[in-house]
Structure 1
Amino acid sequence: MRKSMVKWGGAWLGLWALQGALASSLPPGVTEVTRVEGVTEYRLANGLQVLLAPDDSKPTATVNVTYRVGSRMESYGETGMAHLLEHLMFKGTPKHPDIMSGLTSHGMRPNGTTWFDRTNYFESFPASENNLDWALKMEADRMVHSNVARKDLDSEMTVVRNEMERGENDPGDVLMDKIMAAAYQWHNYGKSTIGARSDVENVNIAHLQAFYHKYYQPDNATLVVAGRFDTTRTLKEIQQTFGQIARPKRVLEPTYTLDPAQDGERQVILRRVGDVQYVEAVYHAVAAASPDSPAFEVLAQVLGDTPTGRLHKSLVETGLATSIGADYFNLAEPGVLFLQAEVRKDQKLDDVRDAFLATVEKIKEQPITAQEVERAEANLRNSIDTTFNDPERFGIALSTAIANGDWRLFFLTRDRLAKVTPADVQRVAIAYLIPSNRTLGLFIPTANPLRAPAPQRVDAEAQLQGYHGSPDYQAGEAFDVSPANIQKRTQWVTMPDGLKVALLSKKTRGNTVHARLSLHFGTADSLLGKEQVGDFVAGLMDRGADGMSRSEIQDKFTALKAQVAFSGSATGLTVMIQTVKENLPATVDLVTRILRNPTFPESEFKQWREASLADVEESRSDPQAMASNLLHRYFNRHPRGDLRYTSTFDETAEDIKAVTQDQIVQFYRRFYGASHGELAVVGDFSPVPVRAALEQGLGQWANAEPYAVVLDDYQAFPGKTLQQDVTDKANAVFLAWQPLPIKDDDPQAQALTLGNYVLGEGFLNSRLATRIRQKEGLSYGVGSFLRLNDQVPNSAFGAYAIYAPQNRARLVKAFDEVIAQVLGQGLTPAEIEAGKAALMQSRKLARAQDGSLAAQLDKLMFDQRDATFLAQQDDQVMAADSSSVNEALKKYLDPARFVTVYVGDFSAKKP
């Protein structure tokens, strides 16, 4: 609500006085530049841009350093350099030789990403002065003192190759890379960020070091600190770390290459092994800072939204495609509008292509409507608000705006979005969605080509003259995420009909609230032969209900600022909700209306069936899906039709085709109800209206059939090696699995959990990752996991890795040696203590996420427990030592009983 300037006058005077006081107390060499909606920009003498976004609503903080360098800045023969540096920046400095261990010991959730216009490194962690100081010191140190050594490049080379090979497994992604290369003849946006294999494999280390020293400098970087921290203390620490870096003498020259307006249709045909088809297209568009950029965001939604988008209606609802998608690449320089349709193998691709292009390029005859624009703007605004209201996501999301010219573009784009009209969208669609601006296929000469406007740069600073953003934003409380406080703050209630409810009310940023509803039904006997029917019921639940179509349901949730997802199987249904305080009761009411009155429309039934069959077909040549299926079929000991039976892909397809609408309706009537379930709500809400909406919506809705958890008792299986070949796949998959006779409340369960964390579930300095990724450079993704059963002592230990097929022997040797060393010599006391600290930090971090906490409360109620069980688990971890951990590992892990799976193209030995 807008307030008069008279009413706000005192507040503004107070704010100016506060700014003056802060400016006078700034550390030497630090200058305040501007403020927008809780974010303050500072500049250091060496040119470093600093953005501070304090928020005490979560006990976490995020440090994000964005460098204005990506694949756009790479020269001939240097493709992939920006991405290579991203990998090497984790290899250490003289002062921080083991960055991986430091990140783990501080309980940080880190990552690095590379894109066309930027590279960024971030770490989210439980807020503390020690954690923040370490992160700032480490980031400042690796900004200019990273080793970037030949030995590290050599060891990481196979990992980078493996990452390339992983991308090569997805035909849709490969096709997009090929289309981008055809669309951009001169600009580096046409080159994949990961680079050309020949460039990466032959990179000159001296050139890579020069690239690093040129771009990794304070005057080319922005430091973002978001979350819970003390601003004054943090600025001093930043000046003492980053401020000591000298301003470089070199001058960065701006890039100047732009492609001319495209002068004819282009087409790419990709032929590879696969089980689904794709139609994809890109149309040249504008830069992110352009006033027309928000119109392209809306246009992408109008065309590509599911289920209301035009492509969904013309392709999916007619059965021509199984799914569609759209994305506007909002980049620093003119980007593209990307469109995609996934098509079943037996469909005529030419027919789909024609319908696809007719939908996209006939907007002139079928103008954009006000309803389409309003729906798109609501969806986009909800996404922006969700990001802004989460300090971690916001701190990281600023990287895109920074790379696009100015961090304030995040807010300017939001404000411009609210002003987009149907005429704006219609104008850009007519100007840019034309054949000569499209890259879909072969080039075809045209006598009278129709060309789009020539791309132009946009001065972001000029666009932001006089811009101040909105002064309205809300912060949350500083919430203690300890199990004791969670137990104290949670109301545990059992509804009259049996539904268990956990209500944890607290102040949150933006008044956000998360909820998770789980319903359970059936028994192993009553659900026999009904797995796919149950999947259909859960999948179709929100695609039509209580007189509302799928689109109308989605629009109502959007109007409530609610993100709601229904998922489930034959044994249960889960509904995940995120909304705001004032809309939670109405959102719960809408969810219960859907649950009580689904209509299972025939058109949606057909779409779900086609999409499900497409998923099965795609799995047939996907190494990961094949490996998982092969593994779990080895453990089959129940007849087909039993929920514990793992079907072949053929059996799954057969079962999907056999499902009828009548079976779906009968399953719902027979099994659905709210007698057995849980609802957990975490965030900013009032419990009374929520309970009232719950009682009104789910009261008197009892299950007609008895319910019992489907259990599978432990059975020992002999170790075995399983292999399946798949052709034309550059990436192979390794899995290992061993059933364990242990339950999650066993006295040794937490010691085993800690041991597995150090072995392979922790960050990249776990035993498996250190040997297989860091030392050998064999895998981009490698680790282990422990699945503790909460019902019966039948758990499982597993391990995984992706790798190039020709490296299989080396991978097996390294894996076997790590397991043998851990079980033979044991984990060291130092490893245990470091792992213990990291594991506890990761648990705190998980409890700081309201959605994750709601899921934990849901599970606790399902297991007839409360938050004291979490405290017991934490206490058991802290009480563990190297003796108890190694004893648990040796007791339960037996390599002779590992079932190992290898799926890949082992026929060709590629270099």
Structure 2
Amino acid sequence: MKHLALAVLLALNTATLPVMAAASSTASKQAVPAGVQQLTSAEGITEYRLPNGLRVLLAPDASKPTTTVNVTYLVGSRHENYGETGMAHLLEHLLFKGTPKHPNIDVEFTRRGMMSNGSTWYDRTNYFETFAANDTDLEWALKMEADRMVNSFVARKDLDSEMTVVRNEMEAGENDPFSILWQKMAATAYQWHNYGKDTIGARADVENVSIPRLQAFYRKYYQPDNAVLVVSGKFDTAKALAWVQRYFGAVKKPVRVLEPTYTREPVQDGEREVVLRRAGDVQIVAALYHAPDGGHVDSAAFQMLMQVLGDTPNGRLHKALVEKKLASEVYGLSMSLNEPGYGMAGAKLRVDGDREQVRRTMLEVLENIAKQPITDAELDQARAKWLNGFDKLMSDPEQLGTALSETIAQGDWRLLLLTRDRIEKLKVADLQRVAEYYLKPSNRTLGQFVPETKPVRADVPPKADLKAAFKDFTPKPPVAQGEAFDPSPAVIEARTQRTTLPNGMKLALLPKKTRAESVSVSFGLMFGDEQSLQGQREVGGMLATLLTRGTRTLNREQLHAAFDKLKTSWHYQGGAEGGVLMLQTTRSNLAESLKLVRDMLRDPALSAEEFERAKHEAIGALEEQRSDPYAVASNALHRQFNRFAATDVRYQPSFDESLTELNKLQLPQLQQFYQRFYGANHAQMAVVGDFDADAVRHQLAQLFGDWKSAETYRHIPRAFDPVKAEELIMPLKDKANAVFMASLPLKMTDTSPDYAALAVGNYILGQGSGLSSRLINRLRQQDGISYGAGSSLHVDATDDAAALQISAIYAPENLPKLKAGVTEELARLIKDGVTEQELQDAKAGLLQNFKLDRAQDQSLAYALIDQLHEGRTMKQVAELEAKISKLTLADVNAAIRKYIDPAKFVKVYAGEFK
């Protein structure tokens, strides 16, 4: 769910917000149109205000060929009155239903290939779209956002269908033990303030809201004086300001007055507890503490405190619970909000775990910091990780609006920068003071109330005075700018340097100037063959996990801290057939980061202690999947395609089979697998960004040029298998949301004559961006039974075992409607075909999506290692795009009728069905 995903994102800390950009300080010197007032500029972000009260933030950056437009309205669930819970979120949905001038907004998004969405949270609602930079789409986006600000339909017919979609979104959240426990804890902690009410609202309110009341809410809050417009990325500042003035400036300033919210949660005067009893396969213990608002000086210290406590693998809770096998996972989060918020820490443990022992140990860690003071090393590690994330945030312009939405909602967009400064200046004494003040039993919501004769209370300070806070604030210089790079196949091919190391490892190097001198690396490893990998499925997967947990010279905590110190983010994931490492760093830190990668892959510790921890965590995660409808449906679907022996790496095991294999795993098996299979002679690496190609080529030859696998690598084929059509019902208990998955086996590769046509047909059926595909139009827009539905086409370059897949979420009682909707849409697609307008929109949208992917350096690096593996270049990409551009209506409709046969789908329904 959008609101929940954002909640988890925010919970980690400001550094994990979607990456944002800062523009050159020259933006503040641009001439502004008459009537537009320039307010302030900090680190390349410049703020303006129109006479009608609209505030505008501009952050131009030509280093990436994309533009993002974001409108943040200062209204969220905090502003809802009695009977209105969920109204802000419901209204967010309705603003995608159009206006008289723009009746089909989602169709317009798809036609332009725009990536668009919206989200609602406690203090704000935002709408955003990202697209390939061009004046036409920028002007359209600004014109459209100005129009739907005050002219959206907010109609009865749209409310009737969308209300049930939101209800399905609500039901999906009910399936997740963590999210529903979080909701109940917040409601217990906040007895009066709206932060205790879930953003998605009460079911009765969502189902019974009247259209006049919803329209009144819309007219009250959706006005220029209650909104902040952000434009980031590549655009002409003068043109953007002129269009903003032309379209938004034409919206009249409202005469109503918005009263500030004034409810303040009373001081909590004793422990509180909530116990949630539902079906599931995991236990959770958590504690929530009231905390200051995002602008308060204590907020930065509180964020760092929660990271010191809840980080994996360096946090205190991880060491006390996960490393000692009491829990399989821990977390710590800090909610920085407009008014006093909260922090929360917790742990997940297996169903047979000792919950009481976890509770005692967790509270000992959280509430006895006076006896075990925070150390300089803990603060330095947490700060390095936070600042690493912040640097990544500041180097990417595409998500500026999304990132700034949160600090805009907290009271001032510059809080993003002020928080960074405060974190840089933090001392251990700051964290110690904050820990001893806020993390106390009387300020805790865990589970029970215990009367005390002398209660100790935490009086959360009042909202911060931001004017005073910014009195001595001095912005830092903006980050280095990148070049204006054209991500066309021809330009990428011309700039890419390909070479092979002495051991056979292939390299693709694409040096270019990037914002903040960022560099992205993708490293793919290939292992073994069909015979040598027999019985190695679980061994290879567990080994990939263990490789990330220390080298012979650095333990797990030290390894992660070393990457954080280098401002490097990374992820390695693998299995029996190979692995992929993704890494993002800066020019100055690339060489040292590659050395760490070398030590991790070529000199791993493979310690018995970490092996036991990893095994314990993997078993816990697998047990949790048993009651997850998505995991159950996916596993059941893939098992229908089993035609291999259980020892074959292509075999899809059941949950029980996987648990049996995991429990049997021994460390010597992993050590033997490493000695036999790991090596780089069949590997591919791509480096994209700001780096010296000659230096990197020389270093990689030293680090990996002599590393060879003892086993021969041969591609393991996946041949087309016409599996018998079948319909499976997977019953689960106590699940308000169900999952549908279906797969149609196809004999095709991406060089097949019909691939391009079928790809366009699939885009129209269910892959299209926005909310305008056939499936989403039927199941969400028309029937109102599914929050999310779509299709995907899976086609390989070598193997002909392709598949068309369909999926949707829905309430179990809507199973007949779901079946009817999918069946009728497939029949209509085959019988009537697609329209000329759908064809043109799909072709444009698909090509724009390809371009947007290539504009992301990490995605481009991954595409380059894929090409190295397949022996391809960007030539094949250009040929595919040219073929898509030339497709006719007859081509697409013929491919649809040739390949899509509804009678041949394998279908799975997972949920609690009556």
TM range (shorter): over 0.9
Map Cα deviations across residues 465-508 of structure 1 (whole Å, 9 max, x no partner).
Answer: 24241123211111000000000000011111111110011111
Matches within 5 A, 1:89-104: 89-104=95-110
Q: Tell me whether 1:440 sits opposite 2:443 in the alignment.
A: no
In structure 2, the partner of 1:869 is 876
CA contact (8 A) 2:391 2:567 kept: no
Structure 2: which amino acid aligns with 1:377? R
CA contact (8 A) 1:735 1:901 kept: yes
Matches within 5 A, 1:794-873: 794-873=801-880
CA contact (8 A) 1:70 1:116 kept: yes
| Matched residue SS, 1:418 | helix
Q: Tell me whether 1:593 sits opposite 2:599 in the alignment.
A: yes
Residues 448/709 of structure 1: CA separation in 2 closer, same or farther (3 Å cut): same
CA distance in 2, matches of 1:454, 1:433: 12
CA contact (8 A) 2:28 2:44 kept: no
CA shift, 1:445, in A, is: 1.2
In structure 2, the partner of 1:8 is none
CA distance in 2, matches of 1:474, 1:20: 17
In structure 1, the partner of 2:340 is 334
CA shift, 1:121, in A, is: 0.5
CA distance in 1, matches of 2:631, 2:568: 32
CA contact (8 A) 2:761 2:896 kept: yes
CA distance in 2, matches of 1:494, 1:892: 40
Structure 2: which amino acid aligns with 1:405? G
| Matched residue SS, 1:444 | coil
| Matched residue SS, 1:544 | coil
Matches within 5 A, 1:151-166: 151-166=157-172
Matches within 5 A, 1:556-635: 556-635=562-641
CA distance in 1, matches of 2:354, 2:27: 65
In structure 1, the partner of 2:509 is 503
CA shift, 1:283, in A, is: 0.6
In structure 2, the partner of 1:5 is none
CA distance in 1, matches of 2:155, 2:512: 49
Q: Tell me whether 1:149 sits opposite 2:158 in the alignment.
A: no
Map Cα deviations across residues 625-662 of structure 1 (whole Å, 9 max, x no partner).
Answer: 11111111111111111111111111000000111011
Map Cα deviations across residues 579-608 of structure 1 (whole Å, 9 max, x no partner).
Answer: 001111111111011111111112211111
Given the alignment, which residue of 30, 33, 36 partners 1:27? 33
CA shift, 1:394, in A, is: 2.5
Given the alignment, which residue of 170, 178, 188 partners 1:172? 178
In structure 2, the partner of 1:76 is 82
In structure 2, the partner of 1:45 is 51
| Matched residue SS, 1:465 | coil
In structure 1, the partner of 2:417 is 411
Map Cα deviations across residues 536-592 of structure 1 (whole Å, 9 max, x no partner).
Answer: 111110201131100111111111111111110011011111000111111111101
Q: Tell me whether 1:883 sits opposite 2:894 in the alignment.
A: no
Identity among equivalent pairs (%): 51
Structure 1: which amino acid aligns with 2:624? E
Structure 2: which amino acid aligns with 1:886? N
CA contact (8 A) 1:543 1:549 kept: yes
Given the alignment, which residue of 472, 488, 494 partners 1:488? 494
* TM-score normalised by structure 1 residue count: 0.97
CA shift, 1:393, in A, is: 2.1
Matches within 5 A, 1:10-25: 22=30, 25=31
In structure 1, the partner of 2:645 is 639
CA distance in 1, matches of 2:346, 2:44: 38
| Matched residue SS, 1:545 | coil
CA distance in 2, matches of 1:336, 1:395: 24
CA distance in 1, matches of 2:694, 2:445: 56
Matches within 5 A, 1:160-559: 160-559=166-565
CA shift, 1:205, in A, is: 1.0
In structure 2, the partner of 1:648 is 654
Q: Tell me whether 1:770 sits opposite 2:773 in the alignment.
A: no
Structure 1: which amino acid aligns with 2:846? L
Residues 824/409 of structure 1: CA separation in 2 closer, same or farther (3 Å cut): same
CA contact (8 A) 1:638 1:645 kept: yes
CA contact (8 A) 2:524 2:581 kept: yes
More off after superposition, 706-715 vs 842-851: 706-715
| Matched residue SS, 2:249 | helix
CA distance in 2, matches of 1:115, 1:334: 15
In structure 1, the partner of 2:732 is 726
In structure 1, the partner of 2:903 is 896
CA distance in 1, matches of 2:449, 2:217: 36
CA shift, 1:19, in A, is: 8.0
CA contact (8 A) 1:35 1:468 kept: no
| Matched residue SS, 1:547 | coil
CA contact (8 A) 2:27 2:44 kept: no
CA distance in 1, matches of 2:59, 2:608: 49
Unaligned residue ranges in structure 1 (runs of 5+): 1-14
Residues 868/188 of structure 1: CA separation in 2 closer, same or farther (3 Å cut): same
In structure 2, the partner of 1:716 is 722
CA contact (8 A) 2:742 2:805 kept: yes
Structure 2: which amino acid aligns with 1:202? N
Structure 2: which amino acid aligns with 1:661? L
Map Cα deviations across residues 497-536 of structure 1 (whole Å, 9 max, x no partner).
Answer: 1111100111111000100000101111111111111011
Unaligned residue ranges in structure 2 (runs of 5+): 1-23
CA distance in 2, matches of 1:469, 1:875: 47
Structure 2: which amino acid aligns with 1:276? V
CA shift, 1:104, in A, is: 1.0
CA shift, 1:29, in A, is: 1.7
CA contact (8 A) 1:735 1:800 kept: yes
Map Cα deviations across residues 859-880 of structure 1 (whole Å, 9 max, x no partner).
Answer: 1111110111111111111111
CA contact (8 A) 1:588 1:690 kept: no
Paired residues, number: 890
CA contact (8 A) 1:431 1:453 kept: no
| Matched residue SS, 1:758 | helix
CA contact (8 A) 2:71 2:401 kept: no
CA shift, 1:20, in A, is: 8.9
Structure 2: which amino acid aligns with 1:747? P
| Matched residue SS, 2:644 | coil
What RMSD over aligned residues (CA atoms) do the two structures have, in Å?
A: 1.1
CA contact (8 A) 2:503 2:708 kept: yes
| Matched residue SS, 2:639 | helix
| Matched residue SS, 1:576 | strand
* TM-score normalised by structure 2 residue count: 0.96
CA distance in 1, matches of 2:228, 2:400: 14
CA contact (8 A) 1:81 1:200 kept: yes
| Matched residue SS, 1:713 | coil
CA contact (8 A) 2:438 2:458 kept: yes
Map Cα deviations across residues 836-864 of structure 1 (whole Å, 9 max, x no partner).
Answer: 00111111111101011111111111111
| Matched residue SS, 1:243 | coil
CA shift, 1:795, in A, is: 0.5
CA distance in 2, matches of 1:827, 1:656: 48
Map Cα deviations across residues 64-91 of structure 1 (whole Å, 9 max, x no partner).
Answer: 0000000000001100000001100100
| Matched residue SS, 1:263 | coil
